[in-house]
Structures are given as structure tokens and as C-alpha cells.
């Protein structure tokens, strides 16, 4: 690209969906997103979904693979043949979060199979992180499973939870116990909104512990598949506000914010990191690529 401006693509392959971002930026700074594509996997061949998503994004900006300076993957896409390089998910989510919410100094990534809290500095360098345990009770897949059992479309979960006037908490330790709790609540005729509010509270308590573990304070960016769940966002801020009033080690004032493009944070970060890496490659004569460790930092 002329004038140091590069067009790069970021491909984020998760458990349940593929996200693609195409950006124009100056070595990863002052990025402008030209295309954002999201496709669910849903019993489809993952490779086909990646190809279709990438082609859709390229079509939106009228370019092809040859027209991209760098194609960067993240998530479960290390072996993608046409990619130039790969970055770890924590690195890309931190970079994407800084782009979307510049004042954030931590990220809460709520994925389908796990949730993770990532602390970072003002340049997007990861400084600490924690993940939930293997149990799925604090994940997007768990919430989707509960919504399906209750007969509620996933997009309506947040609205019903926000409208709830009571909380029926479920187990936050084990997904099996939580599902049993939900079955019992349904049998007792508990309103659906109250059950969903209880699920949100249980998840929020686990996430609050993650944020305390990394020493988060100030603004936290919410990313991942649950980033658009208004009930989850509201409940999380309520729980964090209550926690901040308890004076004990590791508890700080925290506020969680999201962004309309928050589900694309990993792909956006990958695209911007790709531009940065492209500049490095040009400077060192196109050295060999591999998995990056995210040890560098970037200005927004």
C-alpha cells in the first residue's frame, strides 16, 4: 500500500463461529475497519466456513488474497494454509479491545467454551490473565443450552433478564448442578426472566473472581459471543459494583463496557497486528513466520 497504509485481514476461529476483519492501517495504528464478517459454524465443515467468511469479507472490499499485505489468524486457525502468520487469542483480543474501547485496561472475553480475563497496558500488551475452569457453567454455550431448554431465543435472553424483578440463583460451580437447579425452578413455575437473571448472576460472580485475580481496575472491555447480551452486561456491572463496596484485597472499582463490534475483537486485533508484523517483515527482509507470542506492544 502507498504511504505506509496496509490492507490486512484477521481471521478468528472460535468454537461456534468464525469472524473475519479486513482493515486499512498504518502499521497497525489508526486502523479503519473495511469489512467485518461473522458466520456460525453449526454442524458445518469449519474449513468451508472459514473460506466462505474470508471470501465474503474480500468481496465486500473488492479485493482478493493477492490484494492483502498480510493475513493473520487467531484462535483455532493455526494451520490455515493461506495465512501469513498467527497470534495467540489473548494478544489479539487485547489489541482489538484497545481499538474498540481505548480507555480499557482489561478484557473479559466470554467465549462459547471458556471465559478469560486479560489485563493489559495502554499499548495493548498483555500483563496478566486468568481463565475459567473446564466446567462450562460460566460460558456462552452453557447459557445457550439453558435458553434452548427454556424455549427462549438467545437474542431475547438479555431483555428478559433485565425485566426480572427477582433473582433465582443457580449453582456457579458446576453446569450439571446448574441445569438441575433450572429444571427444579421450571417445575415450581418460576418466571423465565427470573431464572435467566439468576443464571446471569451466577456467571457474573465467577467473572468477578477472574477480574479480581488479574488485578483489574477501571474500565474493562467485554468481548466474545456474550458481549451483546444486555442482561449479562447489566448484571456483571451490578455484581462488580457490589463487590467494590467490600474492602478486601484485590477488590477495585471496575466498570464493564462493550461495543457494537465487540464480537469481532479477536479478528480486529489480528488484522491490526498483521499490519504491524508486515512492517517488521519488510524491515528484516521477510523473515520466516510462525506463532507469535505477543511480547511486543502497539500504539492505537
Pairing relationship of beta strands 29-40 and 17-26 according to DSSP bridges: antiparallel
pLDDT tens sequence across 184-231: 888 888 888 888 888 888 888 888 888 989 989 899 999 988 888 899
255 Cβ contact list (under 8 Å, min separation 6)? 218, 219, 220, 237, 240
Residues with Cβ < 8 Å from 125, sequence gap 6 or more?
94, 294, 295, 296, 297, 298
User: How many residues are recorded in the chain?
Assistant: 300
Mean pLDDT value of segment 162-177: 71
- Sequence ranges of the domains in the chain: 2-97+263-292, 102-257
pLDDT at residue number 247: 59
**CATH code linked to domain 102-257:** 3.30.420.40
Tell me the backbone φ, ψ of residue 28, rounded to 5 degrees.
90, 0
Residue bearing the bigger pLDDT, 166 or 290 = 166
For 83-133, the pLDDT digits (tens) are 999 999 999 999 999 999 999 999 999 887 778 999 999 888 999 999 876
Question: Does the pLDDT at position 249 exceed 70?
Answer: no
CATH 3.30.420.40 is held by the domain 2-97+263-292: yes
pLDDT for res 136: 53
The fraction of the chain above a pLDDT of 90, given in percent, is: 42
Average model confidence (pLDDT) across the chain = 84
The mean per-residue pLDDT over the stretch 177-183 comes to 77
Amino acid at each position: 500500500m502507498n504511504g505506509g497504509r496496509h490492507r490486512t485481514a484477521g481471521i478468528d476461529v472460535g468454537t461456534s463461529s468464525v469472524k473475519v476483519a479486513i482493515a486499512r492501517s498504518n502499521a497497525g495504528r489508526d486502523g479503519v475497519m473495511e469489512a467485518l464478517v461473522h458466520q456460525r459454524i453449526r454442524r458445518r465443515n469449519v474449513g468451508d466456513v472459514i473460506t466462505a467468511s474470508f471470501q465474503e469479507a474480500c468481496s465486500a472490499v473488492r479485493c482478493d488474497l493477492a490484494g492483502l499485505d498480510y493475513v493473520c489468524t487467531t484462535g483455532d486457525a493455526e494451520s490455515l494454509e493461506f495465512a501469513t502468520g498467527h497470534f495467540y487469542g489473548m494478544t489479539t483480543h487485547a489489541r482489538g479491545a484497545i481499538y474498540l474501547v481505548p480507555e480499557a485496561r482489561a478484557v473479559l472475553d466470554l467465549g462459547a467454551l471458556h471465559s478469560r480475563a486479560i489485563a493489559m497496558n495502554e499499548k495493548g500488551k498483555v500483563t496478566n490473565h486468568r481463565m475459567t475452569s473446564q466446567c462450562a457453567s460460566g460460558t456462552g454455550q452453557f447459557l445457550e443450552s439453558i435458553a434452548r431448554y427454556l424455549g427462549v431465543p438467545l437474542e431475547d435472553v438479555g431483555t428478559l433478564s433485565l425485566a426480572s424483578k427477582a433473582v433465582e440463583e443457580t449453582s456457579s460451580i458446576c453446569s450439571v448442578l446448574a441445569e438441575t437447579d433450572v429444571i427444579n425452578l421450571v417445575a415450581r413455575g418460576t418466571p423465565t426472566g427470573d431464572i435467566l437473571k439468576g443464571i446471569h448472576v451466577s456467571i457474573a460472580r465467577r467473572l468477578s473472581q477472574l477480574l479480581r485475580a488479574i488485578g483489574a481496575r477501571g474500565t474493562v472491555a467485554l468481548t466474545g459471543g456474550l458481549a451483546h447480551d444486555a442482561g449479562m452486561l447489566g448484571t456483571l456491572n451490578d455484581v462488580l459494583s457490589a463487590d467494590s463496596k467490600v474492602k478486601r484485597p484485590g477488590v477495585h472499582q471496575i466498570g464493564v463496557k462493550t461495543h457494537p463490534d465487540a464480537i469481532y475483537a479477536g479478528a480486529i486485533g489480528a488484522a491490526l497486528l498483521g499490519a504491524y508484523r508486515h512492517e517488521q517483515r519488510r524491515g528484516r527482509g521477510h523473515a520466516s513466520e510462525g506463532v507469535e507470542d505477543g511480547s511486543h506492544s502497539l500504539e492505537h
